[in-house]
Amino acid sequence: MQHDTQEPATAQRTARRPIAILSYHQTTRPPARGTPVRSLVLPPRRFARQLWCLRLLGWRGLSLGDLEPYLSGEKTGKVFGITLDDGYLNNFEEALPVLREVGFTATAFIVTSQIGGSNVWDHGKGAPPAPMMDLGHLRAWLAAGMDIGAHTRNHVNLCTCDAETARAEIAGSKHDLEQALGIEVRSFSYPYGEHRPEHVQMVRDAGYTLGTTIVSSRARPDDDPACLPRISVHLHDRLPRVLAQVTTDYEDWRMRRNRSHPNSRWYQPPQPGVPGMGSGATSS
């Protein structure tokens, strides 16, 4: 099956379809109901079902490294991005075999101070410890054709850091991975999706080509490569919804109707004293 074509980039930037970039976290059996951040834990069988169905529909899942020429308009095709945040060991144990079987690639965003460690940023919320990939796992991940990006050194909220700390977290995580693995790290994921314009500039200054957020939308030709939207996949998301998020304008339709949600491309902050603009933003 022919998936892509190459044409003059100037023509494609105006003609190509938006591209979905999916954001996953853990791929393992979810903990008990009521456990903090349970919604970010997806059973491997559901991860597999989503990817197999997209493949059967003629779509191809790609790491951000493989997706770059599509985002830039150098290529076109029925493609979408696959990213997994934090670097969980269960991504290696459960997601990687699925990716290899279906013939897709993915980017794992790594918190460099916790290589071989744990999800310490979630422990205070009451989330159970989850082990992270060590250097051996990361090397095997790369050898399998997958991609690695940076997710800061300590999974910090950049908006709560001073400028010096934010810059060290952004640039330092890139340096850590490149020194440890002997690769060029071209993509960055903002922890919690939190960032301000100065952080986007820090990502550019550090030498990254792509940066990803959690603004829930498909990437458009005119989006800033340093702060691309991603669609988060949650435990409660049913298969038809995930398929629609990748293959149609469903997510933009949904988030345009939900402008009070911070993850909407059309977010409108609450205004004190305006009826209907209080603190009732819904989560999804």
260 belongs to a structural domain: no
pLDDT tier at 277, thresholds 50, 70, 90:
very low
pLDDT at 44: 98
Q: pLDDT (tens digit, 9 = 90+) per residue, 145-173?
A: 999 999 999 999 999 999 999 999 999 99
Whether pLDDT at 283 is above 80: no
Question: How far apart, in whole angstroms, are the C-alpha atoms of residue 166 and residue 156?
Answer: 8
CB atoms within 10 A of CB 136: 10
CB atoms within 10 A of CB 9: 13
Can you give the residue range of the structural domain that contains 153? Answer: 4-248
Q: pLDDT (tens digit, 9 = 90+) per residue, 53-77?
A: 999 999 999 999 999 999 999 999 9
43 belongs to a structural domain: yes
Whether pLDDT at 280 is above 90: no
Q: pTM for the complete prediction?
A: 0.90
pLDDT at 279: 30
CATH code, domain carrying 193: 3.20.20.370
Q: pLDDT (tens digit, 9 = 90+) per residue, 100-148?
A: 999 999 999 999 999 999 999 999 999 999 999 999 999 999 999 999 9
259 belongs to a structural domain: no
Number of domains in the chain: 1
180 belongs to a structural domain: yes
Question: How far apart, in whole angstroms, are the C-alpha atoms of residue 194 and residue 211?
Answer: 12
Q: Give CA separation, 66 vs 114, 134, 144, 244, in Å.
A: 26, 24, 14, 22
